[in-house]
Amino acid sequence: MSTVTEQTADSVHEGHDHHDHYEPFWKKYIFSTDHKTIGIQYGFTSLVFLAFGFFLMMVMRWSIAYPDRAVPLLADWPWFQAWLDDGGKVTGDLYNMFGAMHGTIMVFLGVVPLAFGAFGNYVTPLQIGAVDMAFPRLNMASYWFFLLGGVLMFVSFFLPSGAAKAGWTNYSPLATTTDLHYGDLFWTGQTQWLMGMVFLISSSLLGAVNFICTIINLRCQGMTWMRLPFFVWAMLVTGFLLLLAFPPLEVAAIMQLMDRMAGTSFYIPTGLNVSGMAFDAAGGGSPLLYQHLFWFLAHPEVYVLILPAIAIVSEIIPCNTRKPLWGYKTMVYAVMVLGFLAFIVWAHHMYITGMGPAISTFFQTTTVLISVPSVILITSLLISMWGGSIRFNTPMLFATAFIPMFGIGGLTGLPLAFSLPDLHLHDTYYVIGHFHYVVAPGTIFALFAGIYHWYPKMTGRMMSERLGQLHFWPSLILMNGIFAPMMFQGMAGFHRRAFDGGKAYEQISNQVFAEANGFIANICELLGIVGKNEPVLMIDLNIVTSTSAWLLAVFQVPFIINLFISGKFGKKAKGDNPWDATTLDWATPTPPPHGNFIGEPVAYRGPYEYSVPGAETDFTPQGEKDPVIVSTAEGEQEKPA
């Protein structure tokens, strides 16, 4: 047996004390096989992509709010010359391109790599007491595949055809027939999107194999299934989602690549006409096939976006309420059921493709069923806070905000689960609002919480509380300022792909949102959105949304400053375990050296032993041998899924 790391203050400060041998710079920081370095690489890359995706969206929001004004600041950039119109306004092509790439970048290059790649990589091996991932070199390969895919996506903006323009879903036959007039089909954005996806998917597959192997085979002694922190459970389920759901999308991408490059007609129906001309293909394919294969991935992908967020939050809440996670076992089973059901709900994205009532009913039923485990997870988190003495530090604020925001996102999804209301709401801003409530103030808030929470472990210094608060409160308000108006607009019938923000559809966009001289109208008048004695129209909400989005960008500046400055000048963390947390990741030196633990870690009890009656402190670390406390852990159990 071995000893668990002593929390001595001197072992904290100098990270390089722990390095047992010298490694050259490029090996240590660039081609590293250490899961922590790779996690940080993932983190930085994905934060850059998140910022880039956010930038694309801000340009789009300008076109929506002020469709007849030139885009400020950008009109003279050489790249924009090709895509803005003569007056410097956003063109439909540019809007489509940015829309497609905003979705792709945010989902595949931003949130998933940050949630699964960065946090999963950094935290999972630490929490299970492993020295590294099961296949460190594979881990490195998966990062470099990811980067390659990201670079291809980014470079595609600079091709003559621009980047992909057919929406982040890339539906055929639109995606197949776009940009066909460019001489070299391979170097068009649409084709490069597919190439990029093939690399990103390969990266995810390698990553998923690695995660599952690590969690199953590298748990330290005593770390039984029911002693795994919930974070690890969520990562395991996420790993399986990626492993089994991504290959059909890879196939779909390969087939679309064949359609574009080799002239096959997997997704081209017989007799297709493009711009009034018969499309030169054999035909006989089915656009529906693409949608099925795409959504077979893309629905589980939603849970890939969400589960790591819930995982992070469920680490932060017990730690800051000083109470065990309520309903740990229920949550574990719920997350497994969720993982299973995630595979058989996909066609609820396709109600308006003409699916018959029988199959629609099946998918409606599974879709409603899947809300049960989601609600179990959220309710457990909520009850975990009940009666605790809560420390409202920045990570906890973000984690707390996550719950209602994700709740709104989830509940607004219910109407979309039924085919009848979906006919009305499909492809409106309502869908955008629903999805973004889940992912933006939901997942991204949880990711922020995670960054604030594990930052002291990564650097040995705390992030500034004050800047954190300055980051949190405006973000919370502005996030709602962005997405709440979308719900109203969506129900009024605003179509999501109108690049002029619905100006061309007067019947829809001139509906009254709030009567003149009412409370809301007065506020809007004060803000200069509407004139005196004018009602607030639905289309006026565009300005509210867009302004909120730009302001949101401004209030990310405190976070960026915090992220970079605190590493050098932040307050030093007290010991290896500044939050007094229980899980094994806090039992390592700070920052953890290559190999993570000093000695071999052993898990003696469950992961959330906070405020155990009779214990000396209000937390009892998993790795601390203490005969006073009776272990609550179950025996060895097999993992069902």
Partner 1 sequence: MEIPYEVKPRRDTGLYNAKLGVWLFLASEVMLFGGLFSAYVFLRTGIQDGVDNPWPWGLNVHKGFVWLGFLNTLVLIASSVGVVFAWVALKERNWRKYQIYMYFVVACAVVFMCVKTVEYNSKLNKHHGIKLVDNSVMEGTILEKTDRIRFEGNRAVFGLQGALPAFLKDISDEDFPAFTATVQFKDDEDPQVTEISSESQFKKWFHQNRRTASKKLTAERRRYRAEMEEFGKAAPVSLNTSATVVASEPFQVNAKPTKVVGHSDSSVNYRDGSKVEGKLISDDVKFVMHEVDLQLVLPQKQRDSIIWDVINDESAKQQFFAKQQKHYEEMRDYYEARGETIPEKMLRGHMLNLQTIDHEDHGDHEEHHGEAPHKSEAKHSAGGGHGDHSYITVPRDKIKFMGNHGPRYGNYYALYFTMTALHGLHVVGGALVLLFFTVFGKKLYLKNPEHLANRVEVGGLFWHFVDLIWIFLFPLMYLL
Partner 2 sequence: MAEETHDWDKHKKTYWAVGIALFVFTGVTLALGLVPILDLGPPGPTPADFVIGLAVAGTKATLVSLIFMHLNHEKGLIYKTLLFTFLFFVGLMALTLFAGADPIIEQYDTRETTNGKLVEKP
The contact set with partner 1 (CB under 8 A) reads 70, 75-76, 78, 81-82, 84, 86-88, 131-132, 134-136, 160-161, 180-184, 187, 205, 208-210, 212-213, 216-218, 243-248, 250-252, 254-255, 258, 262-266, 270-271, 277-278, 280-286, 289, 292-293, 296, 594-595, 636
Helix (H) / strand (E) containing 536? strand 536-537
Nearest by Cα to 201 from 127, 124, 131, 257: 257
In the range 296-335, which residues lie near partner 2 by CB under 8 A? 296
Amino acid at the residue 35: H
- What is the Cα–Cα distance from 574 to 113, expressed in whole angstroms? 30
Would residue 609 be called left, alpha or beta, if left means φ above 0 and alpha means ψ between -120 and 50 degrees?
Answer: beta
- β pairing state of 273-274 and 277-278: antiparallel
The site that binds partner 2 (CB under 8 A) totals a number of residues, namely: 28
Q: Smallest distance, Å, CB 599 to partner 1?
A: 13
Q: Which CB, 461 or 594, lies closer to partner 1?
A: 594
Choose from partner 2, partner 1, none: what does 88 bind? Cβ within 5-8 Å by kind.
Answer: partner 1
Is residue 641 involved in binding partner 2 (CB under 8 A)?
yes
CB of 263 to partner 1, least distance (A): 4
Give the Cα separation of 74 and 89 in Å (integer). 10
420 binds partner 2 per the rule CB under 8 A: no
Q: How far is CA 196 from the centre of its chain?
A: 18
Q: How far is the CB of 266 from partner 1 (least distance, A)?
A: 6
**Residue 73 binds which of partner 1, partner 2, none (CB < 5-8 A, kind-dependent):** none
Could you say which of 289, 484, 512, 565 contacts partner 2 (CB under 8 A)?
A: 289
SS3 track for 296-312: HHHHHHHHHHHHHHHHH
Which residues within the stretch 225-244 sit at the binding site for partner 2 (CB under 8 A)?
Answer: 240, 244
Of 237, 350, 381, 537, the one binding partner 2 by CB under 8 A: 350
Tell whether residue 271 is a contact of partner 2 (CB under 8 A): yes
Q: How far is the CB of 459 from partner 2 (least distance, A)?
A: 37
Q: How far apart are CA 5 and CA 228, in angstroms?
A: 19
State yes or no: residue 343 binds partner 2 (CB under 8 A).
yes
Q: Among 239, 207, 196, 208, which residue's Cα sits nearest to residue 104?
A: 196
**Do the Cβ atoms of 157 and 189 come closer than 8 Å?**
yes
Q: Among 355, 553, 561, 565, which residue interacts with partner 2 (rule: CB under 8 A)?
A: 355
In the numeric block, the tokens 């059901």 are attached to 341
Q: Give the interface segment with partner 2, choosing from 66-74, 340-348, 455-463, 616-624 (CB under 8 A).
A: 340-348
CB of 248 to partner 2, least distance (A): 6
> Contact region for partner 2 (CB under 8 A) — 22-30, 133-141, 259-267, 339-347?
339-347
What is each CA distance from 112 to 93, 302, 306, 465, 572, in whole angstroms? 27, 10, 9, 27, 30
Nearer to partner 1, 49 or 246 (CB): 246
Residues in CB range of 329: below 8 A, 6 or more apart: 226
The partner in contact with residue 343, picked from partner 2, partner 1, none with C-beta cut-offs of 5 to 8 angstroms by kind, is partner 2
Containing 19, the helix (H) or strand (E) segment is none
Instruction: Report the nearest approach of partner 2 to the CB of residue 641 (Å).
Output: 6
Contact 373, 334 (CB under 8 A): yes
Q: How far apart are CA 396 and CA 393, in angstroms?
A: 5
Least distance in angstroms from the C-beta of 596 to partner 1: 9
75 or 151: CB nearest partner 1: 75
CB of 180 to partner 1, least distance (A): 6
The binder of partner 2 chosen from 340, 418, 488, 550 (CB under 8 A): 340
Q: The tokens of 244 are what?
A: 């089994």
Which range binds partner 2 by CB under 8 A, 348-356, 454-462, 490-498, 547-555? 348-356
Identify the residue among 278, 359, 414, 523 touching partner 2 (CB under 8 A).
359
What's the token pair of residue 26?
């490029």
Tokens of 371: 């809300």
Chosen residue from 286, 556, 631, 632 binding partner 2 by CB under 8 A? 286
- Point out which span in 44-52, 147-155, 397-405, 633-641 binds partner 2 (CB under 8 A): 633-641
Question: Which of the listed partners (partner 1, partner 2, none) does 635 bind, with a CB threshold of 5 to 8 Å by partner kind?
Answer: none
Sign of torsion, CA 250 255 260 261? positive
Q: 209: burial class by Cβ within 10 Å (0-12, 13-18, 19+)?
A: middle
362 binds, among partner 2, partner 1, none (CB under 5 to 8 A by kind): partner 2
Best CA proximity match to 147, nearest among 43, 243, 239: 43
Of 411 and 423, CB closest to partner 2 = 423
Centroid of chain to Cα 345:
20
Which helix (H) or strand (E) segment holds residue 146: the answer is helix 136-155
Task: Please tell me whether residue 211 binds partner 2 under the rule CB under 8 A.
Answer: no
Alpha-carbon distance of 483 to 479, in angstroms, equals 6
| Contacts with partner 2, residue ranges (CB under 8 A) | 216, 240, 244-245, 248, 270-271, 286, 288-289, 292, 296, 340, 343-344, 347, 350, 354-359, 362, 638-641
